[in-house]
Amino acid sequence: MELTKNRAVLDWIDQQVKLTQPDQVIWIDGSEQQLEALRKEACATGELHELNQEKLPGCYLHRSDPSDVARVESRTFICCKKQEDAGPTNNWMDPEEMYAKLHRLYDGSMKGRTMYVIPYCMGVVGSPFAKYGIELTDSIYVVLNMAIMTRAGQKAVPYLDEQFIKGLHARANLDPEERYIVQFPEDNVIMSINSGYGGNVLQGKKCFALRIASNLGRQEGWLAEHMLILGIQNPQGEVRYITGAFPSACGKTNLAMLIPPEGYQKNGWKCWCVGDDIAWIRVGEDGRLWAVNPEKGFFGVAPGTNAKSNPNALATTQKGTIFTNVALNLDDNTVWWEKLDKHPPEHALDWRGNPWSPETAQGPAAHPNSRFTAPAENCPCISPEFNNPHGVPISAIIFGGRRAKTAPLVYQSRNWRHGVFVGSIMASEKTAAAEGTVGETRRDPMAMLPFCGYHMADYWQHWLDMERDIAHPPKIFNVNWFRTDEKGEFIWPGFGENMRVVEWILKRCFDEVGARETEIGYLPNPEDINLEGIDVSRETLAGLLSVDRDLWRKETEGIHSFYAQFGDKLPQALREELAGLEDRLKD
């Protein structure tokens, strides 16, 4: 039964039905009754496996095709009329050519299958931040994940207007050579085919919330960012909010679900997670920036998540969660992954569904990119403001990376323009887990390189232009938890201890502490970071807060070569910031 009489919506769906030729069409109303029926159907066909309902109530396991286990950046396209508008960091194809190619692939792709119509909202329904879309899919897995990750179903339908985001997904035959994840930002259209993996097919996530939304934000004067949102409550009961952008493997989820050190907890400090991955940011009537998390759930990496590294994330997965490509513990019908604990199951099926045990293991039990899709409301530290339609006011923006020697533990930018420069040069040195040479520096400006829906230089200019509208801009910082000693060991303990740095950052935002000016920005005086109850000496901290001029001079060379690819489009302000840094680094 159709949930709307909106002609624009129905005509578009009719076109896609004629193209893909499903046997039937079912509208997703978001009711628990309908979702439960779909779970039962997916278990009957093997698309899902029901887990131990006493230990993991409402939890299921899914295995994707072994060729289809991660986002595929090489098959992800931004298709706008002019190649220049997509920029040098995105794959581009002429929209007409791409539409023609995709139509051939979609033709009859749902024969013998059901098309599910998922109306959904990114953000709180009715919020001034909210945006609405429809995803058409032939996958129950996608339906159930979208029901966790977005506000899906009947409640979104009244808000669908002519501007709704149109999304089409078909598993087709999962051919990796014909796998495409395509955004048409000028048409507000998303099309993905030949994939069943979450990051490629849960279109509300990176496709809509970042690639399409970043373009909408440029047109409408706001920011769609790959950022966590965290509230810090001090002993006086006041909550101050930060956003933070970090490339993968840089501690983003741990910071989003930060647990204060014991001493802080005793003194009454608390942390509240508003979002772990995406922030939509607008200028409020009070001249401050306000942010919402447009998602309703977490799509997290399982391996490495445990009771020590991130107890809040682990607790979030204990009910109503869909696990993808983790191991199945046959002894008690639960799940397991590497570093969950030190007790791998004796009898298990690995992420491919093959028998696995610690003695006979030929490979990992869980895929390194295996995932959990969990409702945010499960999180023990979910913010009371999570569903606030107006979002939360932002005091600080934090950029981070993984640098062994160059970047200090924390520094503050001189102003908004310098902060945009700091975000534009964000970098991480590759670890053994990433493709490429270990130690090689990979730039990932604002952690948006794979997710910006238009030319990266225009994106930086949009950031610079935003300053005109922000009467009270947040302060911008850079952190680096990953400085190493001569043995390659991390010097700063990280995890919950990062609270000590965040405390200093927020004090700076409210002019409660001083700083010393250096060539790269403002650094803490070592005595201003609380070291009580931590095994880090004042001398060690002073070393973490040092600026090596030779390393930074080398850094400027790397920035020049990174900027070169953007040619004349590079904002003049960023050229001037780089020149200023070089001047300050001269002997």
In this structure, the answer to whether residues 283 and 406 fall within a common structural domain is yes
Domain closes at, from 189, 220, 251: 220
Range of the domain at 97: 7-30+73-220
Q: What is the pLDDT of residue 248?
A: 84
* Distance from C-alpha of 285 to C-alpha of 290, rounded to nearest angstrom: 10
pLDDT at 210 (0 to 100): 98
Q: Is residue 433 over pLDDT 50?
A: no
Domain membership flag for residue 58: no
296 is annotated as contributing to ligand binding: no
Backbone angles phi, psi at 223, to 5 degrees: -125, 130
- Is residue 52 in some structural domain? no
pLDDT at residue 430, rounded to an integer: 73
Q: Are residues 125 and 158 in the same domain?
A: yes
Domain total in the chain: 3
Question: How far apart are alpha carbons 561 and 564 in whole angstroms?
Answer: 5
pTM across the whole model: 0.97
DSSP secondary structure string for all residues of 450-502: TT-SS-HHHHHHHHHHHGGG-SSPPEEEEE-TT-B-TTS-BSS--GGGGHHHH
Q: Looking at residue 366, which CATH number applies to its domain?
A: 2.170.8.10
In a domain, 147, yes or no: yes
61, part of any domain: no
DSSP 296-345: SEEEEE-TT--TTT-HHHHHHTTSS-EEES-EEETTTTEEE-TTS-S---
Answer yes or no: is 129 a known binding residue. no
Report helix, strand and coil shares of the chain as percent, to nearest 5.
Answer: 30, 20, 45
In a domain, 505, yes or no: yes
Same domain, 247 and 122: no
Same domain, 580 and 437: yes
Average pLDDT score over residue span 137-145:
98
User: Looking up tokens 């802080």, which residue turns up?
Assistant: 264
Q: Are residues 424 and 525 in the same domain?
A: yes
Residues 394, 282: one domain? yes
User: Are residue 420 and residue 559 in the same domain, yes or no?
Assistant: yes
Please pick, among 59, 79, 207, 250, the residue that the annotation labels catalytic: 250
Mean pLDDT along residues 251-270: 96
Same domain for 214 and 229, yes or no, is no
Tell me: the pLDDT tens digits for 386-420? Answer: 999 999 999 999 999 999 999 999 999 999 999 99
Out of 170, 199, 220, a domain closes at 220
Identify how many contiguous H helices and E strands the chain contains and give both numbers.
16, 30
Model confidence pLDDT, tens digit, residues 540-560: 999 999 999 999 999 999 999
Would residue 95 count as lying in a domain? yes
Report the pLDDT value the prediction gives residue 439, as an integer from 0 to 100: 67
**71 assigned to a ligand binding site:** yes
Residues 136 and 264 in one domain: no
175 and 87 housed in the same domain: yes
Describe the crossing of helices 416-424 and 572-585 by its angle, rounded to 10 degrees. Answer: 90
370 is annotated as contributing to ligand binding = yes
Contact between residue 102 and residue 193 where contact means Cβ atoms under 8 Å apart: yes
Give catalytic status of residue 59 as yes or no.
no
CATH number at residue 213: 3.40.449.10
251 is in an annotated binding site: yes
Task: Assess whether 176 and 96 both reside in one domain.
Answer: yes
Structural domain contains residue 65: no
311 and 348 fall within a common domain? yes
Give the amino acid at 145: N
Q: Is residue 56 part of a domain?
A: no
Q: What is the CATH number of the domain that holds 284?
A: 3.90.228.20
Q: What is the mean pLDDT of the chain?
A: 96
Span 262-287, average pLDDT: 98
Boundary-marking domain end, from 358, 378, 398: 378
Confirm or deny that 495 is annotated as ligand binding: yes
Is 138 in contact with 49 (CB distance < 8 Å)?
no
**Which DSSP state fits 402?**
B
pLDDT in tens, 121-134: 999 999 999 999 99
Overall average pLDDT of the 311-321 stretch: 98
Q: Which residues, 6+ apart, have CB-to-CB distance to 83 below 8 Å?
A: 92, 94
To the nearest 10°, report the CA torsion of 269, 273, 276, 281.
-100
Give residue 434's pLDDT.
Answer: 45
pLDDT tens track for 496-534:
999 999 999 999 999 999 999 999 999 999 999 999 999
So what's the pLDDT on residue 247?
A: 92
